[in-house]
């Protein structure tokens, strides 16, 4: 036994030296022959973009998107299972889609407008004002509550009209109901089909199961106590989480109840939100699942996060894979996934495969039939700085404008595509 240990200790340095020498020779030959060129170029370009500073406008956009994710986290902490971000709902009266920041489906449907404002915020009737900390001039905005009410009503029409999921609160509060609406409601109730809103003039009726709320997420915001805080359905992030938790506890029964020290405050917030109107029973679990499935397949923005931290969101229109000479329209793409080889193991894999990462593209039924496969996965080609057309790239129509931008896949850290086509192609 002693001789074996002595032999191992004698030959171990020699073996390690031989291994290091072989690896060094292998790397030297690979560098000389250009075997590792693509992977090293990709790694270098990612590091360059990582240290590229974003503009103030890009930082502001990213912060606003992260604020929506904060609201999502608050809702999930409060016990809400179905939470969706940036859903786009058609508003027939306007003739185009409107974006809802956060939709939470539970005992009721919460339509959340997220504001990441900082500084002082006050209102004068239907006009809202913000005075940022670094400005002496106040900014004026449209009525946030009224705008969110229109989007909430549009979401309800989508749920009931488009997806044919009846909500059981037939009573519609307010005096805005037209004779046509009364007839439609009565007729449809007699058929047992729920409430279908066919009158386009009813653009601000969202019922008692769809609640529009506004949440200010920035800790640096100062809400005017005499105007903003007196309005219904306006919260800070902390008070909103408290309200959402109490709402879930009270409307889903004793299974989720618990002794909370802030119960009285939550009850007060609920009474402020709901007023003196007696609420009907909550949405059933079965209907909740159906509504959540419908909202999940609503169209949202395609989110593109670059290595620099910059966010580009909009509608991807085309995917060009120049490395394999393939061009695909967005309507034939279900999803695109980008992943990079990170860490020491990732570096070794990148050197072995000759690439810094991979891209996987999933096709719709028509494209699957054409190509004879469900998806493709190819290495991400290094960035070509001289000719954008030589890169694997995405063409994106940016949100809120008609401007299109071209993004090289080598610049992309991760992607999040809209899954509104999943149910129609799978």
Nearest to 145 by CA among 220, 77, 69, 213: 213
Q: Is residue 47 part of a domain?
A: no
Please check whether residue 44 lies inside any domain of the structure: no
Query: β-strand 119-124 against 221-223: which pairing, if any?
Result: parallel
Whether 302 and 416 have beta carbons less than 8 Å apart is answered as yes
Whether 8 is covered by a domain: the verdict is no
> Which pLDDT score, from 0 to 100, does residue 1 have?
67
Q: Which of 296, 318, 345 is the last residue of a domain?
A: 296
What pTM, to 2 d.p., does this model score?
0.77
Q: How many whole angstroms from its chain centre is CA 82? A: 13
User: What are the beta bridge partners of residue 333?
Assistant: 363
Q: Are residues 354 and 258 in the same domain?
A: no
User: What pLDDT is stored for residue 204 in this prediction?
Assistant: 67
Is pLDDT larger for residue 134 or for residue 285? 285
Q: Is residue 185 part of a domain?
A: yes
Quick one: 263 exposed, middle or buried, by C-beta within 10 A (0-12, 13-18, 19+)? middle
Tell me the C-alpha distance between 27 and 21, whole Å. Answer: 10
Give per-residue pLDDT as tens, 189-241.
Answer: 444 444 444 555 555 678 889 999 999 999 999 999 999 999 989 999 999 99
String of b and e for 184-193 (b: at least 16 CB within 10 Å)? bbeebeeeee
- pLDDT tens digits, 374-423: 999 999 989 999 999 999 999 999 998 889 999 999 999 999 999 887 75
Question: What local confidence, expressed as pLDDT, does residue 202 receive?
Answer: 55
> Domain limits at 237?
58-296
Residue 167's pLDDT band, with cuts at 50, 70 and 90, is: confident
Q: How many structural domains are present in the chain?
A: 2
List residues bridging with 311 in a β-sheet. 305
The Cα 326–Cα 305 span in angstroms is: 23
Q: Is 51 a domain residue?
A: no
Which residue shows structure tokens 């894999």?
349
pLDDT of residue 425: 47
β-sheet bridge partners, residue 96: 91
147 and 227 together in one domain: yes
Query: Cβ distance 295 to 87 under 8 Å?
Result: yes
Same domain? For 110 and 188 the reply is yes
Which band of pLDDT confidence, cut at 50, 70 and 90, is reported for residue 22? confident
pLDDT of residue 250: 87
């Amino acid at each position: 036994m002693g001789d074996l240990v002595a032999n191992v200790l004698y030959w171990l340095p020699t073996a390690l030296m031989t291994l290091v020498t072989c690896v060094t020779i292998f790397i030297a030959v690979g560098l000389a022959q250009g075997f590792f060129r693509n992977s090293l170029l990709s790694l270098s370009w990612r590091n360059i973009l990582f240290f590229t500073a974003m503009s103030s406008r890009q930082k502001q956009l990213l912060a606003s998107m992260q604020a929506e994710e904060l609201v999502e986290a608050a809702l999930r902490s409060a016990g809400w299972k179905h939470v969706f971000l940036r859903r786009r709902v058609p508003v027939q009266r306007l003739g185009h889609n409107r974006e809802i920041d956060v939709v939470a489906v539970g005992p009721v449907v919460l339509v959340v407008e997220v504001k990441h404002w900082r500084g002082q915020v006050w209102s004068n009737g239907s006009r809202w004002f913000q005075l940022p900390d670094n400005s002496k001039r106040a900014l004026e905005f449209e009525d946030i509550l009224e705008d969110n009410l229109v989007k909430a009503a549009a979401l309800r029409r989508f749920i009931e009209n488009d997806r044919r999921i009846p909500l059981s609160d037939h009573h519609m509060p307010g005096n805005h109901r037209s004779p046509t609406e009364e007839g439609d409601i009565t007729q449809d109730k007699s058929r047992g089909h729920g409430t279908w809103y066919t009158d386009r003039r009813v653009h601000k009726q969202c019922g008692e199961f769809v609640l529009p709320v506004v949440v200010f997420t920035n800790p640096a915001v100062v809400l005017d106590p005499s105007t903003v805080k007196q309005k219904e359905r306006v919260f800070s992030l902390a008070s909103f989480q408290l309200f959402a938790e109490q709402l879930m506890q009270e409307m889903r029964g004793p299974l989720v109840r618990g002794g909370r020290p802030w119960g009285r405050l939550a009850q007060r917030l609920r009474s402020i939100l709901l007023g003196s109107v007696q609420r009907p029973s909550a949405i059933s679990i079965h209907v909740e699942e159906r509504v959540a499935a419908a909202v999940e397949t609503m169209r949202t923005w395609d989110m593109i996060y670059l290595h620099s931290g910059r966010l580009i969101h909009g509608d991807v229109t085309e995917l060009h894979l120049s490395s394999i000479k393939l061009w695909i329209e967005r309507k034939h793409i279900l999803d695109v996934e980008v992943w990079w080889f990170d860490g020491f193991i990732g570096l070794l894999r990148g050197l072995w495969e000759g690439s810094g990462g991979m891209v996987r593209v999933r096709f719709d039924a028509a494209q699957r039939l054409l190509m004879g496969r469900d998806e493709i996965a190819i290495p991400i080609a290094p960035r070509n700085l001289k000719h954008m057309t030589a890169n694997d790239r995405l063409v994106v129509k940016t949100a809120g404008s008609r401007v299109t931008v071209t993004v090289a896949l080598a610049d992309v850290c991760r992607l999040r595509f809209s899954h509104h086509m999943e149910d129609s192609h799978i």
